Amino acid sequence: MGISGEFSTTASQSITRSDQIQGVDSTPHIPSYQRSQWLHWVDDDGDCQDTRQEVLIEESLVEVTYESERQCRVETGLWVDIYTGDRFTDPSDLDVDHFIPLAEAHESGGWAWDEITKRRFANDLEASGHLIAVSASANRSKGASDPADWLPPDESAWCFYVRNWSEIKKSWGLDFDDHENRVINEVLVNC
């Protein structure tokens, strides 16, 4: 259970200092981002647990309890926020963060994706670190920012953060702008 231990191994092995990120200029004429086009928190497997609940269950460091016998919604668990290092037992204190914010994915090339691809991106449970449970305040502080404008308050998470960010963007074929690219490479030099 939990992904905290995976972060330091899986993501850190995939991108090294020598694997520098190359920036590209953003497309100047892209349509406006509309969150409603990125259908998220769906229940694709029909088990009554939407994507948010699935992430909470997967990342809890202890067995979760549920609000009812149907086990649709998590009531308690234990989560450690990779951004702050804080521990939580109440899922209402957490957001499930799209590691690459949906608005950032849109701006980085996802605007051209069809509805099915946008839905897959918004609910991807297969890639570790794509969706993570973090404190609501940290997630809201991050907003739709890329690493050029926001890094986790806990500096010990920076290397993981930029590596995972880069890995996800590359795997989905999303672009990096020059400012984002420069900051990622500056962080990677110290990793």
Q: Which H or E element spans position 80?
A: strand 79-80
Q: What confidence category does residue 29 fall into, taking pLDDT thresholds of 50, 70 and 90?
A: confident
Residue 178 has pLDDT above 80, yes or no: yes
Mean pLDDT within 51-77: 98
Contacting residues for 127 by C-beta, under 8 A, at least 6 apart: 168, 171
The pLDDT of residue 7 is 41
* Helix (H), strand (E) counts: the chain: 8, 6
Domain borders along the chain are 4-8+35-145
Q: What confidence category does residue 107 fall into, taking pLDDT thresholds of 50, 70 and 90?
A: very high
The pLDDT of residue 128 is 87
d(CA 88, CA 91): 7
Q: What confidence category does residue 28 fall into, taking pLDDT thresholds of 50, 70 and 90?
A: low
C-beta contacts of 42-50 below 8 A and 24+ residues apart:
42/119, 42/123, 44/123, 48/72, 49/73
32-47 confidence digits (pLDDT tens): 999 999 999 999 999 9
Q: Which H or E element spans position 103?
A: helix 102-107
Contact 59, 2 (CB under 8 A): yes
Q: CA–CA distance from 14 to each of 6, 160, 170 (Å)?
A: 12, 10, 11
137-167 confidence digits (pLDDT tens): 999 999 999 999 999 999 999 999 999 999 9
Mean pLDDT within 121-129: 95
